[in-house]
Amino acid sequence: PTMAPTGLLVAVSTLFILALSILRDPKGNKPTINLKTSVRAWSHVKSLPTRLNTIRPPTRYRRASGFRPQGRREWVVSAADAPQGSLEVDYVLDKIYQSVFRGVDIAALPTEIEHLTSAQEDTGKYSIGRNRMRLTDGAFVGRDVETFEENPENNFIFSCGYDGETVWVVDESKFPVELSYDEREAMILGYWIFGSLYTLPHLRKDLQHTIVSDSVELAELGAGENDVVLRIQLRSDKYSSLAYSSIVVDTKTWLPKLSSSTYCNMEKSISLEDWKPSYGILMPTKTISTDSEGKKSTGYLNAVSVFPKENTNAGSNEDESVTDGKYPSLHIDPRNSNVYQKPSSEIRDTYWNTTMPNAVEIRTSRSGYILIPAKIDGEDLGYWIIDTGASSNAITTWGAKRLGLSIFGNDSAKVLGGNAEFTYVQASSLEVGPMKWSDPIFLAMSLDSTKNEGVRIVGILGFDFLSRVILEMRLSGSQSSWAGPNLANLYDPQTYDRDEGLGRLRASDKNAPEMGTTGLKFLSKTAHIEATVKGSNGEPSTNLMMLDTGAGNCLHFDKTKAAECGIVEEKGGLFASTSYFMGAGGAQVKSVRASIDWLEIGGVKLRSEGFDAELLDYHDDMSSAANGILGVKVLDGCKVIINYPQQELGIQALKPDLKSPPRRLFPFKS
C-alpha cells in the first residue's frame, strides 16, 4: 500500500503501542500503564520514518503496491509486484549506479577499464591476471597466469573474452573454445557483476531484472534487514537464460556485497568487499569466491588503468603493487581493437610426420571403449581411451610414476559417482600415429574402473588431444568381447579437407547410405550434439546430449528428466531392471533400464535390439539445456568423423535399418 504521511503513521503507532502497554495486575483490577515499555517503543517508532526513507524511493519511482513489509526486512520490493521494467527495479539499479560510478555522467565515463588482480586458492594454486572491460558494449577480455606452490615454474596461461556476441576461453589445452548455453551466460554475468556493468543504462536492455522476495532464498543468501536482493539474467530473446545471478545489495551504501550464481547445475558465490575509489569509480578490492564443492579463492584488485573515450590509444596507470613483467602474455595492447575477439585456432605444439601412414589400428575393449596405442616420452605402456566426455587428458598414477613425471599442483573434479582426486603432471611428448605433441599436460589419477577391460590401459585422451587431430574411424567391433582390429585415420587439422574426408568414407562402402553430419557444441570441454530419441513409451524427442565415448553403455539419463521424454523404467522382462555400476568417483551408482526403439544423429537413424538406456537417480548433465548421455555403444557398427577443430561429427551406419519409422523432430526437452 501507499505509505502514509509521517505524522499519521506516528499517531497510529502511538495509539497501538499504548494499547499494547496497558497491563492488568494479577488480580484483574484496574489497568496500569507500563511507561518503561511505552518509552522504549516510542523511541523505536520515532526512528522508523527515518529508516524507511533510507530505502524508500522518491515519488516518481513509487507504485501503489511497490513496497511491502517482509518479516524482519523493513521494506523490500516484491518480485510479484516488480515485473521486468518496473520502476522499483530501475530505482535499485539507479542507486547502485550512483554509488559505484559516483554520479558521473555516462558520456564522461572512460571507454575501457583495465584491472590487475591476484588470487590465492585454498588448494595452493595462485594467479595474477589482467582484465579489460569496454563500457560501451560490455565486451571484455581477461588473461591469467595460474601456478602452484609445489612447482612455481609450471604454470597455466588462461584467457577468455567476449566481443559482444561470442564468448571464448583458452586454458591449458591452448585451444580456443567457444562457450555456449549456461557457461556463456555465466561468463558474461560474472564480468558484468565485478565491473558493475549491469547497472549501465544502455546495457540493461540485454538483461532481465527481478527483486527477490522469497524468505527462504533470502535466508540462504544471508540477506540482512538492510539488504535487497537483485536477480539478473540475460534476456531470453537474445540468449537462452539458463544462468542467473542473485546480488545482495546493502541499502545503507547501495553497494553489492555478495553475488551468487547458478549455472551448469552448479553454484558459485563471490563476496565483494573493501570497495574503494579509483578514477572516481568505486571498485571491490577484495573478493572471496566459493564454488559448489566449498573450495575458496581470495582475490585482490591491485591496480587500475583507464582508457579515455577521446583517446583510446593512451592509458593512465596507477602504481602497481604486483608486477606481471615476467608474463608478457598478460599485457593487453590498448591499440588493438581485436583483442576481444576469439584467437586463432592454429596449434603450434604438434608435428605431423607426413612420411608415416595416417592409419592406426584401434581396438574395442570389453566395455566398448575405443582404445588407441600411443607412446608417451617414447615409451609404449599400453592403450589409451579415446574419450569425448573428458575435458582433459589423464594418465594413471602408476604410469606417471613409471615415467618419473614431476607433479605440480593437485585438485579434484566432479565425476559420475563422486569426486576424483588428481595431480597435474607434464610429459615431454605424446606420439599417436603420425602426430607428435610436445609438452602435453595430464591429470594423474586412479583409473581403477578400467582394470577389467582385458588389456592394460594407460590413460585417457580427451579434449586436449581431440582438439589437435581429426579422427576418421570405422567401429565394427562386438559390444560384448575384446574385439578388433578396427582402423582410425588421424589427420592434421591445418591441412584437412572436410569434403574430401566425407567423400573418402562414402567411397569406402558404396552400398552404405549418405553420411550425416551434426554440429558439436562444447560444455565444460565435453562434446554435445543434438539427437532424437524414441523411447518405448512416448513420442520422439530431440535433446542436447553429451557424446561420451568414455561411457561404456548406450545411453543414460537422469530418471526424472527421461520421463518427460517418454523414456521410463522397463517393467518385467527377461533381464533384471535394476543394476549397479561403479562410477569414476568410486561410488556405486544405481540404475534402472529402459528400452529405446531408435536413435537419430545427424539424420542417420540407428536401431538395434541392444539399445537400452540407464536411468539414474543422479543428475549428470553439464547444462540445464542438456538431457542425457550417448555412450560409446551407440557408435558400434558405424563410421564416424570426430572433428573438434571444425566442431562437427560425421556418422554413417554400416547396417542401416531402412524399415525404421519416418523422422520426427520435437523441441528440446530440458
Residues of the chain with pLDDT under 50: 1-87, 309-325, 478-484, 573-576, 585, 656-670
Beta strands in 296-358 (DSSP E): 296-307, 316-317, 350-352
Is-contact 486 475, C-beta < 8 A? yes
Looking at beta carbons, which pairs linking 408-414 to residues 24 or more positions away fall under 8 Å? 408/148, 408/150, 408/151, 408/154, 409/123, 409/124, 409/125, 409/148, 409/150, 409/151, 409/154, 410/123, 410/124, 411/123, 411/125, 412/293, 413/443, 414/293, 414/585
pLDDT value for 23:
35
Q: How far is CA 327 from CA 54, 71, 137, 156, 316, in A?
A: 47, 52, 28, 11, 20
Write phi, then psi, for 68 (nearest 5 degrees): -155, 155
The set of residues, in sequence order, having a beta carbon less than 8 Å from that of 495 and lying 6+ positions away, is none
pLDDT of residue 272: 96
Name 213's Cβ contacts closer than 8 Å, sequence gap at least 6. Answer: 70, 76, 77, 78, 79, 80
The secondary structure of residue 241, as a DSSP letter, is: -
- Write out the DSSP string of 612-650: EEEEESS---SSTTEEEEE-GGGGTTEEEEEETTTTEEE
Contact predicate 146/129, CB 8 Å: no
What are φ and ψ of residue 505, in 5° steps? -70, -35
Number of C-beta neighbours around residue 649 at 10 A: 21
**What's the pLDDT score for residue 642?**
96
Domains of the chain (ranges; CATH) run 6-55 (no CATH), 87-308 (2.50.20.10), 350-491 (2.40.70.10)
How many DSSP H helices and E strands does the chain contain? 9, 44
Contact by Cβ (8 Å): 259, 243: no
- Distance in angstroms (rounded) separating the CA atoms of residues 420 and 445: 8
Specify the pLDDT at position 413: 66
Q: How far is CA 391 from CA 132, 207, 563, in A?
A: 27, 30, 28
Helical segments of 443-522, H only: 463-466, 498-507
pTM of the model: 0.77
Cis status, amide bond into 485, omega within 30 of 0: yes
SS3 label, residue 292: coil
- Give the contacts of 515 (CB within 8 A, at least 6 positions apart): 502, 505, 506, 604, 639, 641, 650, 651, 652
Under 8 Å between Cβ of 555 and 613 = yes
Pairing of strands 429-432, 516-519: unpaired
Beta bridge partners of 590: 580
CA dist 664 → 531, 544, 562, 599, 607 (Å): 11, 16, 18, 11, 15
Sequence-distant (6+) residues with CB within 8 A of 652 are 505, 506, 509, 512, 513, 514, 515, 516, 604, 638, 639, 640
Tell me the C-alpha distance between 595 and 441, whole Å. 40
Contact 451, 365 (CB under 8 A): no
Residue 658's alpha-carbon distances to 603, 607, 661, in angstroms, are: 13, 10, 9
Q: What is the pLDDT of residue 406?
A: 82
pLDDT score for 154: 67
Q: What is the pLDDT of residue 299?
A: 92
What sign for the dihedral angle of Cα 450, 456, 458, 462?
Answer: negative
In the numeric block, which cell numbers belong to residue 561?
Answer: 528428466
State the amino acid at position 78 in one-letter form: S
